[in-house]
């Protein structure tokens, strides 16, 4: 019985070893096949006809470039909201968003009966002031000759000063709606007033339509002084330390990538928002003529230079969604080697996360590395 038990155990061990051996052989064969598929043989004639050259990867200084997005923004003092201080109906405006305006230009006409009433009240107060001033002088003369009481003279002074204050207040209201009280007479009372552009700039927004009534707090137009608009660029928190005051780049409207505007970083955010991003305030080195606040921007910034290992750009081939180079193993064999590429400059591209000393000793195929890739694909298909 004991011998039978030992026999069964022995057979089980033999089967397990056989299965493990078969599995190991299969794995070794698969690894060998994979390695074989990524190794390509080229004869001297094939190398010569394909125009393939061999170069050593080199240490180069490359400036990192970072692409980020943002929008055109403007300081609060350069964005001006136009409203009518006393309210009224919009009678006329010719402006559209993007239109240029000059300082002092009429940008809108308003109409309201209250303007007539205000002018009437002012002229009435002005007439009253003239009369009360004469009455005050008359009461002063009477008081000096003791022909009247001092109380009447004091009352005359009070009436004059009260009406004069009222006249000055009405004059201030007239100036708010751009009516000069010094030039106002009963013959030039009008029901309309004009609103004037306070700056040289352009129209950012129009909230008005003719015939609409506007309260004093309603904004008819928004004007922008373009001299101080800036690019507010969004940068992720891990990239913020890469920027410094004075870092330069270019920004452009994504719909017009050929028209680029040079900018310089003048302020770097000191906090990040819930999306873990911050803001770069960038000054335009040349005043943009076609950018208005709110427009989306794409920016490319050149950061500090770093020493990196690099290969020629034409040594990198794109295959099945990844980047590769062909490393020479001997005179006729080339190994497809995966790489992660970084910044490119002057025909060279950096390799990320590689051992510099090891790659310095390699030679990679250039000028027509795709010819090697084509032969590798044919070999796999066969």
What pLDDT, on the 0 to 100 scale, is given for residue 36?
61
Average pLDDT over residues 195-199: 93
Confirm if 20 and 27 have CB atoms less than 8 A apart. Answer: no
Start-end of CATH 2.40.30.170 domains in the chain: 38-74+229-382
For residue 189, pLDDT over 70 is answered with: yes
CATH code for 38-74+229-382? 2.40.30.170
CB-based burial, 282-303: b 16+ in 10 Å, e otherwise: bebeeebeebbbebebbbebeb
SS3 state at 91: strand
pLDDT in tens, 347-379: 888 898 888 888 988 999 998 888 888 888 877
Q: Which helix (H) or strand (E) holds 292?
A: none
Burial class (CB in 10 A: 0-12, 13-18, 19+), 272: middle
CATH code assigned to 77-112+191-225: 2.40.50.100
Q: For the chain, give every residue range classified as CATH 2.40.50.100.
A: 77-112+191-225
pLDDT of residue 35: 54
Measure CA of the first residue to CA of the last residue in the chain; give whole Å: 58
Query: How far apart are alpha carbons 220 and 243 in whole angstroms?
Result: 40
At 266, list the tokens: 């003048």
pLDDT for 164 equals 95
Beta bridge partners of 67: 300
Q: What are 122-167's pLDDT values in tens digits? A: 999 999 999 999 999 998 888 888 877 788 889 999 999 999 999 9
Q: Where in the chain is the domain with CATH 1.10.287?
A: 114-188
Query: Residue 40 is encoded by which pair of tokens?
Result: 């390509």
Q: pLDDT band at 14, cuts 50/70/90?
A: very low
Where do we find the tokens 């129009």? Answer: 206
- 250-308 pLDDT tens trace: 999 999 888 999 999 999 988 888 889 999 999 999 878 778 788 899 999 988 777 88
What is the reported pTM?
0.56
The answer to whether residues 334 and 39 touch, using CB atoms and an 8 Å cutoff, is yes
Q: Among 1.10.287, 1.10.10, 1.10.150, 1.10.1740, name the CATH number for the domain at 114-188.
A: 1.10.287
Which pLDDT score, from 0 to 100, does residue 287 have? 77
Task: Say how many C-beta atoms besides its own lie within 10 A of residue 133's C-beta.
Answer: 15
């Amino acid at each position: 019985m004991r011998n039978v038990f030992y026999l069964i155990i022995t057979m089980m061990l033999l089967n397990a070893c056989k299965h493990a051996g078969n599995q190991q052989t299969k794995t070794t064969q698969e690894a060998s096949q994979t390695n074989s598929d990524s190794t390509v043989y080229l004869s001297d004639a094939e190398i010569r006809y394909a125009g393939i050259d061999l170069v050593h990867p080199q240490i180069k200084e490359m400036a990192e470039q970072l692409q980020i997005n943002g929008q055109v923004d403007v300081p609060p003092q350069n964005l001006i909201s136009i409203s009518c201080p006393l309210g009224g109906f919009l009678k006329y405006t010719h402006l559209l968003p993007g239109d240029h305006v000059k300082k002092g230009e009429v940008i809108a006409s308003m109409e309201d009966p209250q303007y007539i009433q205000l002018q009437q009240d002012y002229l009435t107060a002005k007439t009253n002031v003239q009369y009360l001033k004469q009455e005050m002088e008359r009461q002063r003369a009477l008081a000096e000759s003791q022909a009247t009481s001092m109380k009447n003279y004091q009352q005359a002074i009070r009436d004059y000063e009260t009406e004069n204050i009222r006249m000055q207040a009405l004059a201030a209201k007239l100036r708010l709606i751009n009516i000069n009280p010094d030039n106002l007479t009963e013959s030039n009372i009008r029901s309309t007033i004009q609103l004037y552009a306070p700056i040289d700039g352009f129209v950012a927004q129009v909230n008005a339509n003719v015939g609409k009534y506007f309260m004093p707090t309603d904004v008819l137009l928004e004007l922008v002084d373009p001299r101080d608009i800036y690019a507010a660029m969004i940068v992720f928190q891990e990239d913020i330390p890469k920027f410094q005051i004075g870092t330069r780049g270019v920004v452009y409207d994504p719909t017009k990538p050929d028209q680029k505007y040079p900018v310089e970083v003048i302020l770097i955010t000191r906090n990040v928002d819930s999306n873990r991003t911050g803001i770069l305030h960038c000054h335009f080195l040349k005043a943009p003529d076609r950018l208005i606040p709110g427009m989306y921007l794409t920016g490319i910034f050149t950061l500090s230079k770093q020493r990196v290992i690099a290969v020629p750009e034409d040594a990198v081939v794109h295959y099945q969604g990844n980047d590769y180079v062909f490393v020479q193993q001997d005179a006729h064999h080339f190994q497809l080697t995966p790489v992660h590429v970084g910044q490119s400059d002057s025909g060279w591209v950096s390799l990320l996360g590689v051992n510099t000393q090891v790659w310095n000793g390699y030679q990679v195929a250039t000028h027509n590395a795709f010819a090697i890739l084509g032969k590798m694909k044919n070999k796999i298909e066969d």
